[in-house]
């Protein structure tokens, strides 16, 4: 029972490089989310999706893009990485978060140098 799988687990980028983080879920959840976790700040929502083909901005969307071409996958792209994007990125999915909460992946630790 895989749940939510994030790849890669670790990555080091140089300033200005681009990359894509992949999130895959096998629970047939409609809702998917990308958060970043920084020390002392909890988790902040970057983008989210309420279904296949939809995306919406969260609290801190600048510098990121997302796509949800298939229901099970939610991709997070960094167009031109900056040191301020050094963080741990978590993907989560939900059937009905108000009743059941989120299922999280294990995270991607990204360092931008």
Partner 1 sequence: GDSVTQMEGPVTLSEEAFLTINCTYTATGYPSLFWYVQYPGEGLQLLLKATKADDKGSNKGFEATYRKETTSFHLEKGSVQVSDSAVYFCALTRNTGGFKTIFGAGTRLFVKA
Backbone torsions φ then ψ of 29, nearest 5 degrees: -75, 140
The 2-41 site mask, x for binding partner 1 (CB under 8 A), equals --x--------------------------x-x-x----xx
Going by C-alpha positions, the residue among 71, 49, 73, 51 that lies closest to residue 61 is 49
Judged by CB under 8 A, the residue of 7, 18, 80, 106 near partner 1 is: 106
> What's the DSSP call for residue 84?
G
Residue 42 in contact with partner 1, rule: CB under 8 A: yes
Question: What are the distances in angstroms from CA 47 to CA 14, 34, 90, 101, 113?
Answer: 23, 6, 11, 17, 24
Closest contact distance (angstroms) between CB of 93 and partner 1 is 11
Residue 50 in contact with partner 1, rule: CB under 8 A: yes
Residue 87 in contact with partner 1, rule: CB under 8 A: no
Can you say how many angstroms the Cα of residue 48 is from the centroid of all Cα atoms in its chain? 8
CA distance linking residue 4 with residue 101, whole number of Å: 14
Residue 71 in contact with partner 1, rule: CB under 8 A: no
Which residues would be at the binding site for partner 1 (CB under 8 A)?
4, 31, 33, 35, 40-45, 48, 50, 56, 58, 90, 92, 94, 96-107
């Amino acid at each position: 029972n895989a749940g939510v799988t994030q790849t890669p687990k670790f990555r080091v980028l140089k300033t200005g490089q681009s990359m894509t983080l992949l999130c895959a879920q096998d629970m047939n959840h409609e809702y998917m989310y990308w958060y970043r976790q920084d020390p002392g700040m909890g988790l902040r929502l970057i983008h989210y999706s309420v279904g296949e083909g939809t995306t919406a901005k969260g609290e801190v969307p600048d510098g990121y893009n997302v796509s949800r071409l298939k229901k099970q996958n939610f991709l997070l792209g960094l167009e031109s990485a900056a040191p301020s994007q050094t963080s741990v990125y978590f993907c989560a999915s939900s059937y009905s978060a108000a009743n059941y909460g989120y299922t999280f992946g294990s995270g991607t630790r990204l360092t931008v140098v």
